[in-house]
Structure 1
């Protein structure tokens, strides 16, 4: 697994393409989500389109990421990530809405699982992110 810094450097140098990186991230998400339930949505078509259009000189060129559920499209952090060349591949699960404090994610049918111990919750408001 490459760091964000290594991915962007590889895209800038031409040793990696954003499309290759995004395809690998999408494959990993498809492989892991049936066990971990961390995705609300995977948007491969959009991610690959953005990867084909990415400026290789961007600070985060080709770096895939998940957007926290319910993040507004006009969110300043999202705008900055996109401007830097990062590629959203989908939406991460979130804690179930409603009264009380919950630290487990819910993708609509399953609770999110911790990748280090699938008997536990990863915790946090974005349990899938």
Structure 2
């Protein structure tokens, strides 16, 4: 069932986010300080918030699962570039790519949801006219 496959990228994102928090904690305890990391966690939260909606609406198809995995790979690259100081330009590009992917996921969800809503309304109307 494809519906449950959307959870795997969610688990991978959660693992990545926990790993990043751990790396930041280690840096700060060693006195290395660090930059503001809040922006690191916003794009993954948009995907993690979308996953239950996709499942609830039964819209977690192959395209959404594939986009979620691509997002995970891009965020891993982004985290690696961000943790290696001096690769800000690469991290910025990967951040932009992840924004495009999460936007495509939300737009795809909206289109699929509207399409399903239209089919549902037509079915209800057909039942009521019988």
TM class by smaller structure: 0.3 to 0.5
Structure-2-length-normalised TM-score: 0.36
Comparing both structures, which one devotes a greater share of its residues to strand?
1
The structure with the larger Rg is: 2
Which structure's residues are more often helix, by fraction? 2
TM-score for the superposition, normalised by structure 1: 0.36
